[in-house]
């Protein structure tokens, strides 16, 4: 447990939150020390000594140690990921699922240039939440991946048509939708990788052959850079996947993901709504 918590300190935002928490705790500790000193008759004559203890002896060394984890934590997390990948119960707890998803993201996904760390974080959060709710049931994971894939297919086709019709000055107007699409495509690719990891079989829904879904998503991610960054967008020419997914469920999946993508973290309600939607026919 402690190693897993320490391993998260390789992330810049996690270290910032930890540093803020450390500063607050030391501030509270200093304030309590002053109160105790005043209550025991020592008074405030030694306030500087208390400040020196909490600042120079406690806060500064711990802050330096926290920054040292910038180089230590990533290697520690990679070891934890490798150890978790061989465990038969790797989809049984949220902590293990987070490590599995981090491994799948690092191994299977190349983020497009238009994506920011926010999209990767959203994709990770969404995939972890779906896998946690699925509880290791590969049929549920496969169904969620199919629903996500159907939503991505419809979304990229719609965006490509809209972008071709839109004026050049509307490039920035595409970014929010394109980045949300990136997040859903990445989350879906992680779900496919999790299904293949759990079953040892290729993901091949309907008439698709093994690997076709992942190839489609990778092409979609490449195309997202053109959608967002190029003035003249080339047509989307990938053949349809012909997935057997109810159009209303497909559109609800897209809408639920977009709401989750646009809601600042932790976005618990929006994330729950997405998970319930993408697993609607499997729960």
The model's pLDDT over 3-14, given as tens digits with 9 standing for 90+, comes to 666 667 767 778
Distance between CA atoms of 38 and 44, rounded to whole angstroms?
6
Question: DSSP state, 54?
Answer: I
Query: Is pLDDT above 50 for 283?
Result: no
pLDDT in tens, 44-80: 677 888 899 999 999 999 999 888 888 887 888 888 8
State pTM to two decimals: 0.81
Beta strands in 127-243 (DSSP E): none
Distance between CA atoms of 162 and 89, rounded to whole angstroms?
45
Q: 């038969």: which residue's tokens? A: 88
Read off the pLDDT of each residue in 77-101 and give the average, rounded to a whole number. Answer: 92
Distance between CA atoms of 15 and 22, rounded to whole angstroms?
10
Please answer whether residues 251 and 155 qualify as being in contact, where contact means their C-beta atoms are separated by less than 8 angstroms.
no
Query: Is pLDDT above 60 for 169?
Result: no
Q: For residues 109 and 167, which has the higher predicted lDDT (pLDDT)?
A: 109
Spatial CA neighbour of 194 closest among 130, 148, 253:
130
Classify 239 as helix, strand or coil.
Answer: coil
pLDDT in tens, 215-259: 999 999 999 988 877 767 678 888 889 899 999 999 999 999 999
Alpha-carbon distance values, 201 to 37, 92, 197 (Å): 67, 20, 8
Read off the pLDDT of each residue in 25-33 and give the average, rounded to a whole number. Answer: 94
User: Residue 281: its pLDDT value, please?
Assistant: 66
Residue 43: pLDDT band (50, 70, 90) is low
Read off the pLDDT of each residue in 100-113 and give the average, rounded to a whole number. Answer: 91
Alpha-carbon distance values, 214 to 31, 94, 193, 256 (Å): 56, 25, 9, 22
Q: For residues 201 and 232, which has the higher predicted lDDT (pLDDT)?
A: 201
Query: Is pLDDT above 50 for 282?
Result: no
Within 13 A of 64's CA, how many CA atoms are on the CB side?
6
């Amino acid at each position: 447990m402690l190693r897993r918590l320490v391993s998260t300190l390789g992330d810049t935002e996690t270290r910032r939150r930890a540093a803020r928490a450390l500063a607050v705790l030391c501030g509270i500790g200093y304030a309590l020390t002053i109160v105790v000193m005043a209550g025991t008759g020592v008074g405030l004559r030694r306030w500087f000594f208390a400040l020196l203890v909490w600042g120079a002896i406690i806060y500064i060394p711990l802050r330096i140690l926290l920054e040292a984890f910038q180089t230590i934590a990533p290697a520690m997390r990679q070891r934890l990921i490798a150890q978790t990948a061989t465990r038969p119960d790797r989809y049984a707890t949220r902590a293990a699922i987070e490590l599995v998803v981090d491994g799948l993201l690092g191994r299977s996904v190349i983020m497009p240039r238009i994506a920011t760390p926010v999209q990767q974080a959203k994709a990770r959060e969404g995939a972890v939440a779906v896998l946690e709710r699925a509880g290791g049931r590969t049929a549920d994971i496969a169904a969620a991946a199919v629903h996500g894939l159907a939503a991505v297919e419809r979304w990229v086709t719609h965006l490509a048509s809209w972008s071709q019709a839109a004026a050049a000055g509307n490039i920035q107007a595409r970014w929010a939708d394109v980045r949300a699409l990136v997040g859903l495509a990445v989350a879906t690719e992680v779900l496919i990788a999790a299904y293949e990891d759990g079953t040892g079989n290729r993901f091949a829904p309907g008439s698709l052959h093994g690997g076709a879904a992942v190839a489609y998503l990778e092409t979609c991610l490449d195309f997202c850079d053109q959608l967002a960054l190029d003035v003249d967008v080339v047509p989307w020419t990938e053949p349809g996947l012909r997935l057997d997914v109810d159009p209303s469920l497909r559109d609800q999946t897209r809408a639920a993901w977009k709401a989750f993508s646009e809601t600042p973290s932790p976005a618990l309600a929006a994330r729950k709504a997405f998970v319930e939607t993408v697993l609607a026919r499997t729960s």
